[in-house]
Amino acid sequence: MKPAAFAYHRVETLDEAIERLGELGEDAKVLAGGQSLVPMMNFRLVRPPALVDVSRVAGHDYLERDGDALRIGALTTHAAIEHGDGALDGGFEVLRRAARFVGHYPIRVRGTFGGSLAHADPSAEWCMLAVALDATVRLRGPGGERDVAAADFFLGFFTADLEPGEVVVEVRFPRPWPAAALQEFARRHGDFAIVATVTALDLDDAGRCREARVVVGGVDEIPVRVEEAEQVLAGAEPSAEAFAEAGRAAARAVDPSADVHGSAEYRKELTGVLVRRGLAEAVAHGE
């Protein structure tokens, strides 16, 4: 299929993009990599009257360390993170590993980090990692800049806390999580995940878990942080038994719906398995 008719506007600066979006109205869409938006337009699932192409805006494709924190520019491609430079070393390697799950390589070359977050797919790798690792999303619009915690940014299925005329400009991860992993199950590599999980552990010098993060995608309209599983891990020594119990707790806590890809019970079972596997992988990476 082909998209419905639309007007196309290419801009060279972020200020120009915000001004043009204000002129075009709230139904206009931002085009960055286009790897999610354009297929939806082709299937006429969305019919924006206008696109504002920001792909040539300079200065927003970067991976930078700011002390312990990591800053990622909104126009940074998935492939740039997959082949990320030293900015990802020292605790953010999970992002490099996770990038390999994002679609196929041609998609990773064109698709952008900020675009993925703005798209707000609840099973998207970057959305889940942003929630799990306490990221902050920086937005810019007609009223200036504002920061939104990733946990508050995702409002529903394909719905994010973006006011009319606002664009994502940067995502900031506040501290490293060396012991972290992403697991997902899809029918084929590159397909949308049926269920995906992010697990992360902060271990003390004695090897016990000070803090844990368990986030599940594909079971609700937003990435779900599962505190019941995190509580199982708090203060525990990493072990197969603790990981299995956390997986069972996560499976009990989620409330997925059924679709053509699997029943609710199937998704709950997948949740438990992926949490257990993810925790074991996270510990292995943190050693």
Residue 211 placed within a domain: yes
Question: Do residue 215 and residue 267 come from a single domain?
Answer: yes
Kindly report the number of other CB atoms within 10 A of residue 13's CB atom.
13
Task: Give me the pLDDT at residue 47, please.
Answer: 95
The Cα–Cα gap between 133 and 131 comes to: 6
Question: Do residue 212 and residue 280 come from a single domain?
Answer: yes
Residue-wise pLDDT for 243-273, tens only, equals 999 999 999 999 999 999 889 999 999 999 9
pLDDT > 80? residue 103 = yes
Task: Give me the pLDDT at residue 33, please.
Answer: 93
Residue 186 placed within a domain: no
Mean per-residue pLDDT, 7-24:
96
97: domain CATH number is 3.30.465.10
The Cα–Cα gap between 21 and 52 comes to: 7
23, 64 Cβ separation under 8 angstroms: no
Mean per-residue pLDDT, 73-78:
98
Mean per-residue pLDDT, 157-171:
96
Mean per-residue pLDDT, 125-143:
98
Residue-wise pLDDT for 201-223, tens only, equals 999 998 899 999 999 999 999 99
The Cα–Cα gap between 136 and 239 comes to: 31
Pairing of strands 50-53, 29-31: parallel
The pLDDT-based confidence of 84 (bands split at 50, 70, 90) is confident
Residue 233 placed within a domain: yes
- Distances 197 to 20, 76, 274 between C-alpha atoms, Å: 38, 23, 6
Residue 32 placed within a domain: yes
User: Which of 193, 117, 190 is CA-nearest to residue 158?
Assistant: 117
The Cα–Cα gap between 106 and 231 comes to: 40
Question: Do residue 78 and residue 166 come from a single domain?
Answer: yes
Number of domains composing the chain? 3
Residue 181 placed within a domain: no
Question: Do residue 67 and residue 29 come from a single domain?
Answer: no
Q: What percent of the chain has pLDDT over 90?
A: 91
Residue with tokens 């005329």, as numbered in its chain:
165
198: domain CATH number is 3.30.390.50
Give residue 110's region: left, alpha or beta (phi > 0; psi -120 to 50).
Answer: alpha
Question: Do residue 14 and residue 103 come from a single domain?
Answer: no
Question: Do residue 88 and residue 145 come from a single domain?
Answer: yes
The pLDDT-based confidence of 118 (bands split at 50, 70, 90) is very high
User: Which of 103, 118, 188, 110 is CA-nearest to residue 154?
Assistant: 118
pTM: 0.95
The pLDDT-based confidence of 93 (bands split at 50, 70, 90) is very high
Residue 2 placed within a domain: no
Phi, psi of 192 (to 5 degrees): -65, 140
48: domain CATH number is 3.30.43.10
Mean per-residue pLDDT, 37-41:
92
The pLDDT-based confidence of 96 (bands split at 50, 70, 90) is very high
Question: Do residue 164 and residue 221 come from a single domain?
Answer: no
Residue 1 placed within a domain: no
Question: Do residue 67 and residue 169 come from a single domain?
Answer: yes
- Give 201's Cβ-side CA count (13 Å radius): 33
84, 121 Cβ separation under 8 angstroms: no
- Distances 188 to 123, 191, 220, 249 between C-alpha atoms, Å: 15, 6, 21, 27
Question: Do residue 205 and residue 280 come from a single domain?
Answer: yes
Question: Do residue 218 and residue 256 come from a single domain?
Answer: yes
Domain extent at residue 233: 193-286
Residue 184 placed within a domain: no
Question: Do residue 204 and residue 153 come from a single domain?
Answer: no
Question: Do residue 134 and residue 213 come from a single domain?
Answer: no
Task: Give me the pLDDT at residue 287, please.
Answer: 79
pLDDT > 90? residue 75 = yes
Q: What percent of the chain has pLDDT over 70?
A: 100
